[in-house]
Structure 1
Amino acid sequence: SLVIINSHNIKTLFKILTYKIISKTKMYTYSIYLSILFLDGYLSTQNLLRGPYKPPPISEVCLSSIYCQGDFLRTIQTSKIFEASKTFVDMKMKKKKETILNDFRTLNNTFHGTIPLLELKKFVKTNFQQHTINKWLPSDFKNHPKIIDKVQDYTYKEFLSGINQLWKKLAKKISEKVKTDKDLYSLIYVPNGFFVNMEFQNEFNYWDAYWIIRGALICGMETTVKGILKNFIYIIQKYGYVLMGNRIYYKGRSQPPLLTQMMATYYEYTKDEKFITDNIALLDAEMMYWIKYRSINVKSVGNTYIMTHYMSDACNPRPEMYSIDVHITKSLPAVRYQNEYLCRVKAASESGWGFSSKHFHNRKHYNDFRKTLLKTNPLNFAYVELNSIMQSNSNILSNLYLIVNDQANSNFYKQLAHRYQIGINALLWNEDEKMWLDFDTTIAESRNYFYASNLAPLWTGSYDDKLSEFYGDSAVEYLIRNNIINKDLTPRYICVPTSFYNTGLDWDYFNCWPQLQSMIIFGLHSTRSKKAQKVAFNLASSWVNTNFVGFNQTGTLFKKYSAIKLGSDGEEKSRQHYPTGYGVTIGVLLEIFHEWGNKLKSKQ
C-alpha cells in the first residue's frame, strides 16, 4: 500500500506502515481503522494507523433465532398476531431459547408447516410475556429548577413548570434481572437510569438523547446526565459503537453520532475533566467506527473527498418492522433485489429519519406507499447533517484532547475536521442556491430540494467563522425564497416543515420535528447575522406557542407538530390517546427558554 502525506504535522499525527509490514511483524498494538490519503489538501480512504489505544471489538449483527432472524421469527411476524411487529420482539422469553425452538419445531411438524393462528397465539402466550422496565425518580430531579425563574411571562412560567413534571413520567431504569438473565430478553441492560421519549417506551433512542441531555442539564440534573453518558460508554465498550437503541435487534445500526457533542455539553456545565479523561478513548472509538464503516470516497471534478453516509451491517427484515418489510419486498422479483432493498431501508432507519422523501432516489410514486419506500436509497447520498456532525465531532475531539493534554491526537482531529470541511465546501455547498444541499454520489450532483436539515452546518459551525454573517444572511434569503419566512422575517408556517413533499411519511410535509427546529433556530442564532438572529427568535417564539397550545389541549407534548394547524401533531386523536411525552420536545423547549426565557411572550 502506498500512502502519500501532505501535512504540517506528519511526525505527531501518523506512524505509517503498510498492511504488509503490519501483518508480518505484528510488533505494534496499533489498530488499523482506515487510511487517509492527504494529497493536495484532499482526503481519501487508504491506510491510517491510530493508537496505541485498542478499541472494543465491533459486534457482529444480531443472530438471535428468536428476536432477529430465522424461520421462527418469520412465522410469528408474518402471522400478524400483533398489530405492530415491535410488540413481539420486545417480549421476554419465559423459557430458554432452545426449549422454545424445539417446541416450535414440534408444533410446526404437527401441522405440516402451517400452524393455525389460534395455535400460534397459544404458543406465544405460553412462551413469552410482555416486559416493561421500572419507573425511576432521578435523585437530582428538582420540582422548581432555576430555569423557571428565568421565564418572565406568567403563562409560560406555568407551562414550563408543567413540562418539568413530565421528566418524572419519562424516567426509567432497567432491573438487574435483565443483566443476569440477558438471554431471555431483546433488551440490552445499561447500568444507569435514563429518560425515554414516551411513557410507554422501554428503551433509549440514541440521537434523541442529545436534546434530552441538554434539557436535563438546564434543569440541574447533572448526576443523571452523567449516568446516561455512562450508559452510552457501556454500549461502546460492549459493541464498539452506540446502537440506535438498547435492543439486540438494533445491532448493525447506529444513528447520527452525537455522543461526542453530548460529552462536550456535559463538560460545559460541569468542567468534569476526569470524566473526559476516563472516556475520551471511547469517543475516539466511536468516531473511528463511523470513519471505517460509514465512510466513502466521493470523486468530483477530478478530486476525491472523504464523506460519510448511512449504512447497515445486515440485509434482513427489520425485526421491529418485520411485516412491513416483508410486505414491500414481495413485489421484488429476486432475493438479490429483496436483500438490496432491506439494506437500504435499514440504512434509512439509521439516519433517524424513518421515513422521508429525503432518501428517495427519485420522487415518483408519492401516492403508492410500497413504491415510495422501494425508492429509498440513502447509500447513494452524502447528507448535509451527518457530514456536518462528523466535522463538528472532529473539532470537539480536538479540543477535548487538549483538555487531557494529548497534543498529538488533538492535532489529528484538528486536521480531520479541516478535511471534512473541505468536502463540505466542495460537495455540499451549492453556490447557485447559496445553501448546503445533500449530494448524490452516483452522479456527483447536488440534490436541490428543500429539507430542514440543509441548514445543519450553521448548527454545527461547519463553515469559515470569518464568513459567519454571510452564511447567516444566505440562510435567511434561502428561507425567504422557499417561502418558509416572509420578507419581514416573520414565519409563514407555524413551524419549519421537514420538506415540501407531501408523501404521507413522517419526515416530510407538513410535519415539523423538534430536532430540526433546534438545528435551524440555534444555527441561525449562532451566526453574526442580525437578520438570522431575528429569524431565530421568531421561529422559536412560534414553536413554543404551538407546543403550548397542544399542551393545554392534551396535557402532553408531541413528537412532531403540524406546520399548518396550531397545537396539533397532524393526527386527529382524542385527548386520552396521546401518550405522555415527548423527551426530545421537552429538551428543545428548555433550550429555547434557556436562551430567551426573559423575552418570550405568550399570546395570552
Structure 2
Amino acid sequence: MHINKAETLAALLAQEDTDRSNTITIDDQGPKHFTVKGENGETLEVKGTYYLANLLQEVWLGNGRLNPENVQMKPLERVDYLMNTHYWHTLSRRIDAGNILATLADEKRSSNKAYLYVPAADSDGLEYYRRISADYPQIEIIELPAPPFSDGLLAEIDKKPGLLALKYDKTAGTPLPYVVPGGRFNEMYGWDSYFIALGLMAHNQYDLAKGMLENTAYQIKYYGKMLNANRSYYLTRSQPPFYTPYLSAFYRRYAGRLPQNWLAEHLAVAIDEYQNVWMNPQTHLFADIGLNRYFDEGCGRPKETEPGHFNFILQQYAAKHGVGTAEMERAYGAGEIQDADLDRYFIHDRAMRESGHDTTTRLDDVCADTACVDLNAIMYRIETDIAALIADYFPQGFDHNGTRHTAEGWRAKAQARCDAVQQYLWNEADGTFYDYNVATKAQNRFVSATNLLPLWAGLCSREQAERLVKSQLGALLCAGGIASTAPIGAEIRGPERQWDYPYGWAPHQILIWEGLERYGFEREMREAAYAWVQMIIRATVEYNGLIPEKFNVVEGSHKTDVEYGNVGTVFDYVPAGGFGWTNASLVLGIAKLTEAQKAALNALADSTP
C-alpha cells in the first residue's frame, strides 16, 4: 500500500497524539480509530491504541510504502520483528570513519575536544584511528600505555575524558561492531554485553555477538580488565565478570564456524582475566577466606556521576567541615579538604559500581569489605566453564604462559570455592546464601535477588536449592517479576536506590530463570518469566512499543521516580532501540512460556482501548 508519508503522519498525530509526545499511548484521548488513505484509493481502518502505535511506527520507518500485515501483528511477533529489523541495528555502534563523532559523544561528561584513547601497543589501531580522525580537528588521539595505570596518569586522563578504542580488524579494514545499552549510554558496557549477547544469539545475530566478545577480549588485553564501559573514567574498574560464560555460550553455539585456535586465543584471555584481575589479593581476592570482592582502584567521587549526586552524603561531611554542600564537593574533589571517613565511603561506593548494582542499600558503605554471593557464584561458573572447555576441546591440557591447565585443576579450584562458599556464605538457619562482611566477620542477612545466583552457577546441592527457592523467591517475586531486594526497612535512611525494592532488572530475571530451570523448578521458572514478560508486553501495547531499562515490579510500571530516571522511556515515533538487556530478557522470557501464556499476552492487543 503506497501512502503519502508526510501527510499520513501529520494527520495521524493531529488526531491521535493528543498529548503531543510524538507517540500514541493509552494516555492519549483521541478517537482511537484512524483511516489510512492510499495513493491508489485503497483504505486501511486501524482501531485501538496498540494498532495505532504500530501504524505510527510503520509510517515513520517506511519510505511511503505501508504493509498492513505489519500494522496488525500481534505483540509477541511484533516485538521480535522490531528487534530483528530495527532495535539491534539502532543500538549498534562501530568506531569507523562515518561514525567516529557519534561514538565519541558522551552525555555523562563533556569537554571542549573529543578525545579517543588508543593503546600504544596496538599499532594497527593507532594507524587507522589517526587516519580517520585527520579530517576532524576537534578529535585528539591519545596513546595509552600498557596497564597498570599510575595515579598520576589517571589524574591526567581525568582532565581529558574520552572514549577508549575497541578492536580494529585489519583483515576486514574496519573496527568491530558492538551494541550499547541504549539512551544516554553510548558506549559498550561490561556485564550488559553478556545479556545483550544472549538476545543476539537467540536472534542468530552472529557478527554482532562475535564482535562484542572480541571487543571484550581486547579490553582485557590492552586495558587490563573487562571495563565497566569503554570510557577513560572507567579504567579503574570492571563489572561482574561474564566474559568467560559469554565465551563458553558463544563457542558452543558457533563452534562449527570458528577454528579451535580462535577458542585457544580467547581461553588464554579468560585465564589471564581470572588470574590477574579477580585472583589478585591486592584488589579483588580475600586470600584468607578464598573468596572474592568487588573493588575499584580509583579514589574519590566517581567521575561519571553528576554534580549533586552525592548531596545526601556530602551534606553530612559539609557540616563537619563548616562549609556548604556544593563547596564540600568542590573542595574535596580538589584535595583542599581531606577526610578519611569520606574516602572510605567512596571506596565502597566505587566497589558497588563495579558490582553493576549502582546503587543498592545491600552494598552501600560496605561493598569493598564484602564477599558477595553474586560475584562468587560467577567466579565458580568461570572455574567450571574453563574446566569444561578444556575437557571438551583440549583433553590433553591447555598450555598458557608456561603452565599446562587441565580440567581437573580447574575443577579443584571450583571445589575449593564451593567449600568456602558453604563455610562463609551459606546460612543453615535461614536456608539461603548471604553476603559475608570480612570486617565484621558476619553475614549480611539481606534478602536479595543475588542470593539466588548459586542456582544459575550450579553451586548448591539439590536440598540447598529447594530451601533457597522457598526462603528467597517468595519474598522477591512480585506481579511484574523478581524484585532486586525485599522491601527496605523504614529505619534505613537515604535516597531511594534503583537496585532496591520495588525495582526489577533484566539480568536478575534471566539468571534466576536459568537457575530455576537448572534445578528443575519449571513451574516457578514459568511463573517468574510470565510475570516479567507480561509486564513488558503490557508496556509495549499501551505505550507505543516502549521497552525501558527497569521497572517497578510491584506496580508493574515503567514509571519510576528514582535515581538516574529510567532510560528508554522518552522517544519519538518508535523506541530508539529499546534497552539492550531488557530486549534480551523479553526474547529469552517468551521462549520459556507455554502456548497458553503466549496467547494471553497476544490478547492484550485487543483488550486495550
TM-score by length of 1: 0.65
Cα distance change, pair 554–200 in 1 and its aligned pair in 2 (3 A):
farther
Does 2:501 align with 1:512? no
Partner of 2:316: 331
Partner of 2:205: 221
Aligned to 2:581, what secondary structure does the other structure show? helix
Does 2:545 align with 1:560? no
Checking the alignment, whether the CA contact within 8 Å between 2:196 and 2:584 is kept in structure 1 is: yes
Question: Structure 2 counterpart of 1:174, which letter?
Answer: I
Matches within 5 A, 1:231-310: 231-271=215-255, 272=258, 273-288=260-275, 289-292=277-280, 293-297=282-286, 304-310=288-294
Checking the alignment, whether the CA contact within 8 Å between 2:278 and 2:285 is kept in structure 1 is: no
Distance in 2 separating the partners of 1:216 and 1:497: 25
Cα distance change, pair 294–393 in 1 and its aligned pair in 2 (3 A):
farther
What whole-Å deviation, never above 9, does each CA across 1:97-153 have from its counterpart, x for those lacking one?
xxxxxxxxxxxxxxxxxxxxxxxxxxxxxxxxxxxxxxxxxxxxxxxxxxxxxxxx9
Partner of 1:440: 437
Does 2:370 align with 1:385? no
Equivalent position to 2:469, from 460, 463, 476: 476
Distance in 2 separating the partners of 1:597 and 1:185: 48
Partner of 1:549: 538
Checking the alignment, whether the CA contact within 8 Å between 1:556 and 1:579 is kept in structure 2 is: no
Mean CA deviation greater in 327-336 or 284-293: 327-336
Cα distance change, pair 154–274 in 1 and its aligned pair in 2 (3 A):
farther
Checking the alignment, whether the CA contact within 8 Å between 1:560 and 1:569 is kept in structure 2 is: no
Partner of 2:90: 169
Distance in 2 separating the partners of 1:230 and 1:295: 24
Question: Structure 2 counterpart of 1:156, which letter?
Answer: L
Equivalent position to 2:349, from 320, 335, 345: 345
Equivalent position to 1:158, from 75, 78, 95: 78
What whole-Å deviation, never above 9, does each CA across 1:352-407 have from its counterpart, x for those lacking one?
011011113xxxxxxxxxxxxxxx22012111000010111011112223323425
Aligned-residue offset at 1:535:
0.6
What whole-Å deviation, never above 9, does each CA across 1:156-208 have from its counterpart, x for those lacking one?
22332233331121111113564324337610111311111114532011001
Equivalent position to 1:533, from 496, 506, 522: 522
Q: Structure 1: give runs of 5+ residues left out of the alignment.
A: 1-152, 299-303, 361-375, 486-491
What whole-Å deviation, never above 9, does each CA across 1:504-546 have from its counterpart, x for those lacking one?
1110111001111112222111103xxx220110110111100
Aligned-residue offset at 1:344:
1.8
Mean CA deviation greater in 191-200 or 589-598: 589-598
Partner of 1:583: 580
Checking the alignment, whether the CA contact within 8 Å between 1:241 and 1:285 is kept in structure 2 is: no
Partner of 1:497: 483
Does 2:513 align with 1:521? yes
Aligned-residue offset at 1:598:
4.7
Aligned to 1:561, what secondary structure does the other structure show? strand
Distance in 2 separating the partners of 1:599 and 1:393: 37
Does 2:400 align with 1:396? no
Cα distance change, pair 174–438 in 1 and its aligned pair in 2 (3 A):
same
Equivalent position to 1:186, from 150, 162, 170: 162
Distance in 2 separating the partners of 1:480 and 1:243: 31
Aligned-residue offset at 1:225:
1.2
Checking the alignment, whether the CA contact within 8 Å between 1:192 and 1:227 is kept in structure 2 is: yes
- Count how many residue pairs are aligned between Structure 1 and Structure 2: 418
Question: Structure 2 counterpart of 1:409, which letter?
Answer: H
Checking the alignment, whether the CA contact within 8 Å between 2:381 and 2:457 is kept in structure 1 is: yes
Cα distance change, pair 277–518 in 1 and its aligned pair in 2 (3 A):
same
Partner of 1:81: none
Aligned to 1:235, what secondary structure does the other structure show? helix
Checking the alignment, whether the CA contact within 8 Å between 1:200 and 1:579 is kept in structure 2 is: no
Partner of 2:298: 314
Name segments (4+ residues, structure 1) moved above 6 Å: none
Aligned-residue offset at 1:443:
2.4
Partner of 2:187: 203
Question: Structure 2 counterpart of 1:344, which letter?
Answer: H
Distance in 2 separating the partners of 1:203 and 1:581: 15
Checking the alignment, whether the CA contact within 8 Å between 1:429 and 1:435 is kept in structure 2 is: yes
Matches within 5 A, 1:421-440: 421-440=418-437
Distance in 2 separating the partners of 1:512 and 1:167: 22
Question: Structure 2 counterpart of 1:313, which letter?
Answer: E
Aligned-residue offset at 1:580:
4.2
Distance in 2 separating the partners of 1:423 and 1:283: 22
Distance in 2 separating the partners of 1:342 and 1:477: 36
Partner of 2:589: 592
Distance in 2 separating the partners of 1:569 and 1:274: 48
Q: Structure 2: give runs of 5+ residues left out of the alignment.
A: 1-72, 101-115, 117-128, 131-139, 143-159, 167-174, 321-337, 399-403, 490-494, 604-609
Cα distance change, pair 588–437 in 1 and its aligned pair in 2 (3 A):
same
Distance in 1 separating the partners of 2:473 and 2:304: 40
Q: CA RMSD in A?
A: 2.5
Distance in 2 separating the partners of 1:591 and 1:576: 25
Cα distance change, pair 413–219 in 1 and its aligned pair in 2 (3 A):
same
Question: Structure 2 counterpart of 1:406, which letter?
Answer: G
Mean CA deviation greater in 543-552 or 496-505: 496-505
Checking the alignment, whether the CA contact within 8 Å between 2:451 and 2:472 is kept in structure 1 is: no
What whole-Å deviation, never above 9, does each CA across 1:303-350 have from its counterpart, x for those lacking one?
x52110011112122111152467444633543223222222111111
Distance in 1 separating the partners of 2:285 and 2:266: 27
Aligned-residue offset at 1:588:
1.6
